[in-house]
Structure 1
Amino acid sequence: MTRTLTLEHLTAAAFAPFGDVLEVAGAPDKIINQGLCGRYHDLASIDIVDGRAGISIFDAQPRELPLTLDMMERHPQGSQAFLPMTHQPFVVVVAPDADGTPGQPRAFLTTPGQGVNYARGTWHGVLTPIHAPGLFAVVDRIGDGPNLQEHWFETPFIIKG
């Protein structure tokens, strides 16, 4: 038996309980670089416990819809930002915490150019590009100690477009 999730459009308001949407929206906060660059300033908080912020590059294999969601993870010691290095949409899955396990998941489809910053401790699905290449810059906690919790669902979800 499976349960079904339908992809929602990713908006800052819908995603707010889980973190930040990173996107160019509205007028820039400041014009810099001799008037040739708009700066959209301070779009997310990097929340790190007992470590430091680092930048990594992830190269994820693309997936196809429908997707099976059988596992979610969270990082209790740091936020995690995913910034696509291509102009392609990707799938974002998040869930509220329900007494130490994921509650009802929600699945979002980004628009090209959007990234996300998962708040520290937010249950989320794995990185899920739907187009190649799946290149992402990732800003997250670098440090010793456990910072990964996984939850496997007894009954998986199917994510449809």
Structure 2
Amino acid sequence: MQILTAHPLTGAAFAPFGDVLEAAGEFRLINEGLCQRHHDLARLDFGPDGRAGISIFNATPRALPYDFTLLERHPEGSQAFVPMSQQPFLVIVAPDMGGIPGTPLAFVTNGAQAINLHRGTWHGVLTPLHTPGLFAVIDRIGQTPNLEEYRHPTGWRVIGP
């Protein structure tokens, strides 16, 4: 079993894998000046034969240390996870190394962040760290398969910072 240390999620560290969605940085005021709009934060990609779909996931919370072997990716479209509670969740991603995942990285959100995984990004399963594990998920709906899975032969253990 190999050890990964989870780090706080930042846009810069996560940029090779996707977008961090949070109410930070530039905004414009709307709704009579009572609402900040942080505009166009994610590069959604559903391919030429897909469409956007919104689903609700209700995942069982886990705790650190967290052991995993399974990584997956979606070659036909992006996938966004938007928590429906203000609780941190674990995000695991890995670079592509010739069709299989390379060494994973682990991040923990601050409870006010969502993520959008770019098309083809290797990632761990949805891993809330607290109850409820309720998320809105925006991803590709289409007729062609959009899931590849890889099981690491020895596995990984994620520990806290």
The aligned residue for residue 97 of structure 1 is 96
The aligned residue for residue 31 of structure 2 is 33
Counterpart code for 2:45: D
The aligned residue for residue 134 of structure 1 is 133
- Secondary structure of 1:13's match? helix
CA contact (8 A) 2:9 2:108 kept: yes
Quote the Cα distance in structure 2 between the aligned partners of 1:5 and 1:38: 36
Q: CA RMSD in A?
A: 0.7
Structure 1 runs (4+) deviating above 3 angstroms are none
Quote the Cα distance in structure 2 between the aligned partners of 1:46 and 1:16: 14
Q: TM-score, normalised by structure 1?
A: 0.97
- Secondary structure of 2:12's match? helix
Quote the Cα distance in structure 2 between the aligned partners of 1:51 and 1:18: 21
**Which residues of structure 1 form unaligned runs of 5+?**
none
Q: CA deviation at 1:26?
A: 2.5
Q: Percent identity over the alignment?
A: 61
The aligned residue for residue 157 of structure 1 is 156
Q: CA deviation at 1:144?
A: 1.0
Counterpart code for 1:79: S
- Secondary structure of 2:13's match? helix
Quote the Cα distance in structure 2 between the aligned partners of 1:19 and 1:146: 21
**Which residues of structure 2 form unaligned runs of 5+?**
none
1:42 aligns with 2:43: no
Q: CA deviation at 1:27?
A: 3.9
Quote the Cα distance in structure 2 between the aligned partners of 1:142 and 1:26: 31
Quote the Cα distance in structure 2 between the aligned partners of 1:106 and 1:119: 15
